[in-house]
Structure 1
């Protein structure tokens, strides 16, 4: 048995925390200063975490390696299992050109570029974030906006800023699932608090988007569609995350926001030519005027409808219980750890949800999608293999970061840092979102930031008397605002619209919005930690 200690280095909490921070500092410096590839930085950080756990914290090498192996397995299944299958569905729609049909369908909803930005970047981007995440919404939405005639820089900025409110529940709830796993908090509790923070961003972001597209005139003329879209999105995200399923939060929000826009008569009104001339300064795609047969349009929407239906059915209690029967729970080999109080940690046992996990449900939707849009079985398998190959470095990054997080959590490194940070007292509520923001800014992933800092936030919260669920959720909610300035996302946006090498220009345009919205989130979390907004917490 390995018992975690709070002062393993020279009987000093400060020195122990300093040594425990080495893996995190290593990763952040390699990513932010050295500009090393994320998967390499993750592997080096993992090696440092193993050495610290073994040599400084006294965790037996066998248990240390076993901790990392558990993190690797969790990174592969269910985390990347979700992402691979979701991106596979998208690749099949691109191959059959049904994605182009979908793009043209969006273009016909309204000729007003400000409304198009809301439909594509905010609503459809949220749907893509729900299905895949990891930069896919930014790339795809930016390309669609350029095809509609948006200037490449404006398209990239709009896509980056829009990719905020849905991120915490992206990839079928992967960030909050990871957060619950590494903190030991119930998923429903964590998702409920995040679902009472990020919807507040959704009220603001649509207004920011129409302002980015058309300045003060955009706000003056299209504030109502922006507010209606944001309200519908926020309400659906809140309801789904608190009362239905975290995995359906973004899907429901995206569909509700789009439906509200379509239902609002003013959003279908033709835009003034002066608006189109001022905003659409790029080259419009020639295929936008192509008339698509109605059956093909329905088939283009079918993959997303199938995912919604399958996930909705999976939430029916009888179906949920049936799917859970295949879940395997077993003692993790070579691992016997207790915390400083002598209580066994949850990682001693491992839960493997073979069928009920989001990735398996998306796989089922993908198989049905292949039949609906006419993809041959051989081609579907080839596309799945190509998806795995495309994501190979993302898989390596996620698994190495989660292995690092598990080693830090189980050896006691995260607990020691948390006890040390707790000295900030009430100031933790303000700093908590900043830590998540910083983690996503350098790693490009809310999932990675939650894995790195989630346990630390919970430990610090318990030591300072704050709500563990609040600070854990704040890590994820603050993190979503770092996504638009992460080097990974900036590079993806530039590559998508043909601005390679212009990442610095984009950063200067989106950084003020990232910092401004972060300040709003910090104030929300502080208010939720007091009587001002404490009533919002479940």
Structure 2
């Protein structure tokens, strides 16, 4: 049995914490300073974590490798299993041209560019984040806005800022699922707290978007639909994450926000010519005037309806119980780790949810989508393989980062850092979202930031007397605000709208909003750690 040590370096917590941060510093410096590709940085960081665990913490080499292997498996299943199948569904809609039909349908909902920004960047972007994540919403929504006549810079900025509130529950809840796994906290508890933080962002972001599109006039004339959209999104995200399903949180919220806009007469008023001339300064796509058969429009919306239906059925208690029966729980081979107190850690066992996982349910919805859209079985399989190939570097990045996180957690490195950080005391509540924000700003992924910092947030909370669920959730909720300034997302946005090499210009435009919203989130977490907003926590 390997027993974790908190102070393996000269019996000094400070020196041990400094050594324990080497894997994290390696990854962050390689990404943020050297600008190395994420999968290379992740692999090098993993190697450093393994060396620190073996040489610094005395973890046997075999157990170190076993811990890394467990992280790799979790990265593949269920994490990337969800992402691959979700992106596969999207690729089938593109192949059958039903995605273009959907884009034209959105364009016909309103001719007001401010409302179009809310429908496409905020609502549809949230739906794409729910299904795929990993930069897809920014690229797709930016392209759609430019096709409607938005200036490329404005379209990219709107898409980047909109990609905030849904990120924590993106890719079928992947970030919070990862957070629960690496911290050992119950998924429902973590998701419940995140669902009481990010909805508050959803109230603000739509107002920011109409301001970005049309300045003060946009706020003055469209604050009602913006607030209605944000409120509907916020309520639905809170309700779904707390009482329905983590995987459905963003899907339900996106549909609720869009429904609020469609139902509001104010949002359907034609835009004045002065607004359209001032905002739509780019070239408009010629195919927007095409009329699509009603049957094809319904088929374009079908994949998202099928996903909602499959996940909803999966939440029925009797069905859920049957799905859970396929889950396999077993002792992880070559791993026998005890906490400093001598009690075995939860990582000694591994749970493999073969059916009761978001990826398998999305796969089922994808098979139904292929049938509805008329995609031949051979073509569907080819698209699935192409999706895996497209995501090969993302798969390598996620698995290496999670392997790094597992090695740090099981060797005791994360616990050492957490005990050292706990010295910040009450200030932890303010700094916790900042740590998540920094992690996402560098890595471009809330999932990666949660894997890297989730466990040390929990350890620090336990040592300082704060709620572990609160600080773990704050890591994810603060992280979503770093996504708009991450090099990965900036590059994706520039490439999508033809602004290659202008990442710096976009960064200067979105950075103030990222910092302002981060400050709001920090204040929310601080107040939730006190009696002022403590009643919000479950």
Secondary structure at the counterpart of residue 248 of structure 2: helix
CA distance in 2, matches of 1:531, 1:368: 49
1:287 aligned to 2:275? no
Equivalent pairs counted in the alignment come to 538
Please name the residue that 1:113 is paired with. Answer: 113
Shift of residue 503 of structure 1? Answer: 0.3
The residue that corresponds to 2:529 in the other structure is 529
Partners of 2:375 and 2:282 in 1: how far apart? 34
- Supply the distance in 2 between the matched residues of 1:179 and 1:316 (Cα, whole angstroms): 25
Q: Secondary structure at the match of 1:329?
A: strand
Query: Could you say which residue in structure 1 is the equivalent of 2:44?
Result: 44
Q: How big is the alpha-carbon RMSD for the aligned residues of Structure 1 and Structure 2?
A: 0.4
1:313 counterpart residue number:
313
Whether 1:162 and 2:178 are equivalent positions in the alignment is no
Runs in 1 of length 4+ with deviation above 6 angstroms? none
CA-CA distance at 1:417 after TM superposition:
0.2
Alignment of 1:318-397 (within 5 A): 318-397=318-397
Can you list the C-alpha shifts for 1:335-378, whole angstroms capped at 9, x where unaligned? 00011111111111100000110000000000110010111111
1-side partners of 2:343 and 2:447: how far apart? Answer: 27
Partner of 1:23: 23
Q: What SS does the aligned partner of 1:246 have?
A: coil
How far has the Cα of 1:143 moved from its partner?
0.4
Q: Distance in 2 between matches of 1:346 and 1:167?
A: 27
Q: Is 1:413 matched with 2:437?
A: no
- Deviation per CA, 1:462-500, whole angstroms, max 9, x where unpaired? 000000000000000000000000000000000000001
Other-structure match for 2:181: 181
Per the normalisation by structure 1, the TM-score is 1.00
Report the counterpart of residue 454 of structure 1 in structure 2: 454
Partner of 1:122: 122
Matched position secondary structure for 1:478: helix
Q: Which residue of 2 aligns with 1:472?
A: 472
Taking the aligned partners of 1:128 and 1:311, their CA distance within structure 2 comes to 16
> 1:16-165 to 2 correspondence within 5 Å?
16-165=16-165
In 1, Cα distance between equivalents of 2:332 and 2:227? 49
Give 3-state SS (helix, strand or coil) of 2:247's partner: helix
Other-structure match for 2:263: 263
Q: By how many angstroms is 1:13 displaced?
A: 0.5
Question: What secondary structure sits across from 2:532 in the alignment?
Answer: coil
Map Cα deviations across residues 492-524 of structure 1 (whole Å, 9 max, x no partner). 000000001000000000000000000000000
- For 2:342 and 2:228, the matched residues in 1 are separated by 52
Give ranges in structure 2 of 5+ residues lacking alignment: none
User: In the TM superposition, what are the counterparts of 1:200-219 in structure 2 within 5 Å?
Assistant: 200-219=200-219
- Aligned-partner Cα distance in 1 for 2:13–2:321: 45
**Structure 1 residue aligned with 2:437:** 437
SS class of match (1:259): helix
- Quote the offset at 1:183 in angstroms: 0.2
Equivalence for 1:496: 496
Superposed displacement of residue 459, structure 1: 0.1
Distance in 2 of aligned mates of 1:296 and 1:43: 45
1:305-349 residue CA offsets vs partner (Å, 9 max, x unmatched): 000000011000000001111111111000000111111111111
TM-score (norm 2): 1.00
Secondary structure at 1:141 match in 2: helix
CA distance in 2, matches of 1:220, 1:141: 25
Distance in 1, matches of 2:339 and 2:124, equals 44
**Which digits, 9 at most, give the CA deviation of each residue in 1:8-41, with x for residues without a partner?**
1111100000000000000000000000000000
